[in-house]
Amino acid sequence: MARQRRATRRPGPTQAAGPGDEGQASRRPPARLPSVLNVHSIAGQVLILQVGVVLLLVVAAVAALVLQARNSSLQAARARSLVGAETFAHAPGTVAAMKSAEPSAVLQPRAEEARKLARVNYVIAFSPTGIRWTHPDPHLIGKRVVGSYADALAGKVHQATYNTPGVGRAVDTMVPVTDADGKVVGLVSVGISVQRVDRMVMRQMPLLFGSAAAGLVLVTGGSALVSRRLRRQTHGLEPAEMTRMYEHHDAVLHSVREGVLVLDGEERLQLANDEAGRLLDLPADATGKRITELGLSPRAVALLASDRAVSDEVVLAGERLLAVNVRPTIPHGGSGGSVATLRDTTELRELAGRARIARERLQLLYDAGVRIGTTLDVVRTAEELTEIAVPRFADFATVALLEAVRQGEEPDGTSLAMHRTAVRGVRDDHPLYRVDQMITWLPEMPQAQGLRRGHAVLERDLRASRSWRAQDPERARRMLDFGIRSLVSVPLQARGIALGVADFWRSDQEAFTEEDLAVAEELAARAAVAIDNARRYTREHTMAATLQRSLLPRALPEQSALDVAYRYLPAQAKVGGDWFDVIPLPGTRVALVVGDVVGYGLHAAATMGRLRTVVHNFCALDLSPDELLSHLDELVAQIDETETAEGEGDGAGITGATCQFAVYDPVSGRCCIARAGHPGPALVSPDGTVTFPDVPVSPPLGLCAGMPVETAELHLAEGSRLALYTDGLVENRDRDLDAGLRLLAGALAAPDRTPEQDCQAVFDALVPDRPSDDIALLVARTRLTDPDRVADWDVPSDPAAIAPLRAACARRLESWGLDEISYTTELILSELVTNAIRYGGEPIRLRLLLDRDSLICEVADGSSTSPHMRRAATTDEGGRGLFLVAQFARRWGVRYTARGKVIWCEQSLETAEGGPEEAMGEALLDEWDESAL
């Protein structure tokens, strides 16, 4: 009833007032706790007890102090009495006065003076027979002393306390007075009243009692504050109520089948009932320790120490699955901390186990989707499947693929001969087939059955199965001895075509079950798609690489102007459009070309081949570098426009290309260079100094939009080295262009080195292990033509000058040892010079160049009119000159210069059978057919 009354008087914090109580609540004064002086409350009883104890202590302290003061007064009285007696007895003249005839006359005044000065009650001197010589009362002088003084006569100091009439309780000290012979001549007795000393002590009693009173007040106030705090903490409960509450609390706390934990704000365990200790296996001394020191799992610690409300969250504690509820104590009036309840959900353990297995399988499949197929490499993809399966799904995993799949070809899906591609296990000493071994599955093997059915095959207990041993009985026996006892074989299929087989083996884990088949098939399906993508990429990459290799130069042409070496390195994972070329030109000149088509794959390789073919055709026209790049730009723009229109934006069209074209003339040592969007060349002087000539750059091919291409002309000393390269050499994702050029200059900076050595040094310094872009490098060391192998003449515009010119040429040919072709050469020169005089313009110049296996004749004039070879009619007197030149020369042509043209022809130094006259006769006869004759 008392609790009900108190509950009515103090509603709990969660109790809400009804709608009809709002007015009363507004008028009713706020409820207050009972007074501290209420003796029925714990706080009141504690306050009264504390005040009583303090009061008793104060009284005892005062009594002790009084008794101590009285004792001190008695001791002080004894000391003053003894000092006074000793002082008077040993004062000068005392002995003489006692031996005199009238001791009283001398001693009485001295005794009274000493009594007053010492503030004692009396100073009495008397004879050894007991007759008083001095006394405060003169009437008692001459009378006998009452009492015993035998000790004093014996020479001892005698001190006693007794009640003296008229004085009260006093201390008397009797001291003997002796002469020089030690004889007692008299005695001195000094007495002092104890009350006299007590008065001095009592003067300090007000301070003593004041201090006691102040202490009592302070202690009482402190007790009141403590009691007030206790009243608040106990909510004014009476002892009986608190006893009943504790009994109920203890009964409920330790009787319920639900664990209860109370934590403070520092995550220390304040209380744990028996059920919580059992569920969490708490040690006996767990109370007071931090929750992190109780050996619980990290998830359980995080959940129990959470500062948020938790409802029925499941956590695994040992072998128990617990449902945890956590509530902070702050909203309910408590200090910082939380209360947690635990419930053993043993019946949910099996469900939790299945949920865990399902979660692990989902995580496995998720990881497989992320980690399988990270590269477009068939072998690496197979290895990734084994890595994700071991040890999370199987103890050993193997993958065997059809040879066609490994080569990137389309498999037929019927072959049982496979190539072991990947093997992974928890141990390396397993007896499984090793990587690179060929395996032909027998029809009764689980692998063959899986390929035939298109689904996974389970061999739960290999020891009880016989079919899988037919392939290799000895190996099967060793596998059983090794501990392998369960198998799941899954065909790798994509687009309905079998690519291979994935086998999962278990030795330490539990044997596979039917539920594992779905996981195995899902793993195999994801891997099969990635393997098929890698296979198709491999096929496309192989085709592109093959096309690219077929379109690049397989060998450099022979020429005498340059010593050339090259390097070409395709990208690791893709085929680009980088290309290079060395093209001999008329007049012992050589063209060096390096280009790069934007993009990768078959399209880039095919475009590169087209551009290289076009460059060869343009070189056959002997165009200058700037003119050649202009024509090439128009072609690329046309290709880009045409293919973009046909592809309708599907990305089939190219977006441009870059190219650098250089022509070197060994006779003059000049090199004319032009570039379109391409990195400039590096020039190494004969002493090893590296420079990067300033070659004007034009926009990439296809983007010039008709803008003119500028050229640079370099004069190269003999032995200089010119390096042309693509951007993949000097620039990548880890290095910018400036850093790449610095490395290139450092690699080339060495004198007296061959182009082959330069190529190797550059690749060693700049090429990464896995290049992300194609790299092309062309290094050419210059040579100069020996002046003795060059002869040139200025030709007057007069036909009469032909005869002396032919004679001069004959003499030069004779000096070169070319008498065998002298007649043919004179004929060719006569025809070319005659045409230049007749149809060309001044200045006319003739030049003979002796190359390694040929003689080159060049006739330059100031006219841009191009000659054309034609078949002359039977009645024509002329028109056969160029025809004869074409018949006797290995090749001939025309190239245009800034001031005219040059007609050239090249003769082989190998003499034709039958001699030049016979050859010329046959050529003339070919001009007429039988019908004309």
User: What are the CA-CA distances from residue 704 to residues 282, 410, 633, 659, 921 (Å)?
Assistant: 82, 43, 7, 12, 53
pLDDT for position 487: 93
Q: How far apart are CA 914 and CA 917, in angstroms?
A: 8
Confidence of residue 754 (pLDDT cuts 50, 70, 90): very high
Least confident of 177-191, 504-518, 678-692, 860-874: 860-874
Give the mean pLDDT of 281-301.
85
Structure tokens at 555: 């060998």
* Residue 227, pLDDT score: 67
Range with the lowest mean pLDDT among 651-665, 800-814, 871-885? 871-885
Determine the pLDDT at residue 649.
44
Three-state DSSP class for residue 495: coil
Residue 456 pLDDT > 80, yes or no? yes
Q: Residues 309, 301: contact at Cβ < 8 Å? A: no
pLDDT surpassing 50 at residue 413: yes
**For the sheet containing 310-317, what is the strand order?**
269-272, 259-264, 337-344, 320-328, 310-317
Say what the pLDDT of residue 15 is: 38
Nearest-angstrom CA–CA distance, 887 and 920: 8
Give the model's pLDDT for residue 647. Answer: 54
**Separation in Å, CA 537 to CA 484, 543, 544, 774:** 36, 10, 10, 18
What is the pLDDT at residue 628? 92
Residue 326 is classified by DSSP as E
Q: Which residues contact 179 (CB under 8 A, 6 or more apart)?
A: 95, 99, 185
783 pLDDT above the threshold of 80: yes
Burial class (CB in 10 A: 0-12, 13-18, 19+), 469: middle
Cβ distance 770 to 574 under 8 Å?
A: no
pLDDT tens figures, 919-930: 444 444 444 444
Q: How far apart are the first and last CA of the chain?
A: 153
Q: Report which DSSP code applies to 31.
A: P
* pLDDT tens-digit map of 348-363: 566 666 777 778 888 8
Of 254 and 933, which is predicted with more confidence?
Answer: 254
Which of 197-211, 622-636, 918-932 is the least confident region? 918-932
pLDDT of residue 59: 77
| Share of residues in the chain with pLDDT > 90 (%) | 22
The per-residue pLDDT for range 2-57, each reduced to its tens digit, is 333 333 333 333 333 343 343 343 344 444 444 555 555 665 666 677 677 777 77
Residue range 421-444, pLDDT digits in tens: 999 999 988 999 999 889 888 888
| 804 vs 573: which has the higher pLDDT | 804
Q: If pLDDT is split at 50, 70 and 90, which confidence band does 769 have?
A: confident
pLDDT of residue 8: 35
**Which pLDDT does position 470 carry in this prediction?**
84
- Could you tell me if 447 and 487 are in contact, meaning their C-beta atoms sit under 8 angstroms apart? no
Q: Per-residue pLDDT tens for 666-683?
A: 999 999 999 999 999 999
615-644 in b/e form (b: 16+ CB < 10 A) is beebbeebbbbbbbbbbbbebbbebbeebb
| 880 backbone dihedrals φ, ψ, rounded to 5° | -110, 5
pLDDT band at 214, cuts 50/70/90? confident
pLDDT exceeds 60 at position 775: yes
Q: Model-level pTM?
A: 0.54
Q: What is the mean pLDDT of residues 289-293?
A: 86
Strand extents, DSSP E, 747-890: 775-782, 790-795, 844-850, 854-861
Is the four-CA dihedral 144, 145, 150, 153 of positive or negative sign?
negative
CA atoms within 13 A of residue 278's CA, in its CB half-sphere: 11
Looking at every residue in the chain, the average pLDDT score rounds to 80
pLDDT at 133 over 60: yes
More confident residue, 371 or 54: 371
Run of H or E residues at 259: strand 259-264
Rg (CA), the chain: 63
3-class secondary-structure state, position 487? strand
Instruction: Give the residue, 337 or 743, on which the prediction is more confident.
Output: 743
What is the per-residue pLDDT for 24?
A: 40
Predicted confidence band of residue 913 (pLDDT cuts 50, 70, 90) = very low
Q: Residues 589-603: pLDDT tens digits?
A: 999 999 998 877 777
Backbone angles phi, psi at 699, to 5 degrees: -60, 160
Q: Which of 377-386, 672-681, 835-844 has the lowest mean pLDDT?
A: 835-844
Q: In angstroms, rounded to a whole number, what is the distance separating the alpha carbons of residues 3 and 9? A: 10
Residue from 515, 519, 507 nearest 481 by CA = 507
Average pLDDT over residues 703-732: 89
Q: Give the span between the Cα atoms of 419 and 222, in whole angstroms.
A: 93
Is residue 552 over pLDDT 50? yes
Query: What is the model's pLDDT at position 2?
Result: 38
Most confident among 217-231, 400-414, 436-450 (mean pLDDT): 436-450
